[in-house]
């Protein structure tokens, strides 16, 4: 009887550990709402801005501040009111508009603003939207590189 109980407890423990590991890894590998092709290198956007092609791109800051030159400050899109404002702004654009969103408050893995924002772009069926590739933060990946900042 004691052996059966020990075996049952061991099986239960293995199953519990397996379930916990599976939950953890599935959260870590959850698919992002953007593809690799939808990540815009910072140098590419900086070139667009410095060459004066800004009229062909709509650049939205969905984080704590619009630090990139000519970007439109929406505010932190982890908050529903700001996400609604982004939707209002986007509804004025054609579905094939060139759109870039960025936050830069923290590394992508921790950012609470980019996923709801990019998900909204997908939901609204935009066809040429990008996420500015700021893997660390706006200071490291934009400002420290000397790229154009807001006046």
Give mean pLDDT, residues 1-9. 50
Q: What is the pLDDT of residue 117?
A: 98
- Predicted TM-score (pTM) of the model is 0.79
Half-sphere exposure of 139 (CA within 13 A, CB side): 3
Domain count, the chain: 2
Q: What is the pLDDT of residue 79?
A: 97
Q: How confident is the model at residue 110 (pLDDT cuts 50, 70, 90)?
A: very high
State pLDDT tens for residues 31-66: 899 999 999 999 999 999 998 865 689 999 999 999
Whether the per-residue pLDDT at 71 is higher than 60: the answer is: yes
CATH number of the domain enclosing 113:
3.40.250.10
- In this structure, the answer to whether residues 88 and 107 fall within a common structural domain is yes
Residue 151, in any domain of the structure: no
Residue 139, in any domain of the structure: yes
**Domain span including residue 93:** 32-145
């Amino acid at each position: 009887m004691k052996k059966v109980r020990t075996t049952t407890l061991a099986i239960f423990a293995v199953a519990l550990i397996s379930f916990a590991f599976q939950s953890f890894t599935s959260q870590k590998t959850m698919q992002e709402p953007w593809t690799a092709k939808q990540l815009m290198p910072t140098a590419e956007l900086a070139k667009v801005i410095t060459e004066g092609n800004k009229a062909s791109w709509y650049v939205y800051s969905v984080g704590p501040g619009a630090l990139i030159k000519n970007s439109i400050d929406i505010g932190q899109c982890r908050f529903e009111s700001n996400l609604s404002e982004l939707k209002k702004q986007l509804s004025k654009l054609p579905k094939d508009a060139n759109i870039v969103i960025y936050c830069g408050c923290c590394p992508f893995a921790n950012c609470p603003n980019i996923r709801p924002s990019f998900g909204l772009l997908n939901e609204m069926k935009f066809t040429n939207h990008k996420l500015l590739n700021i893997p660390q933060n706006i200071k490291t990946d934009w400002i420290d590189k000397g790229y154009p900042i807001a006046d």
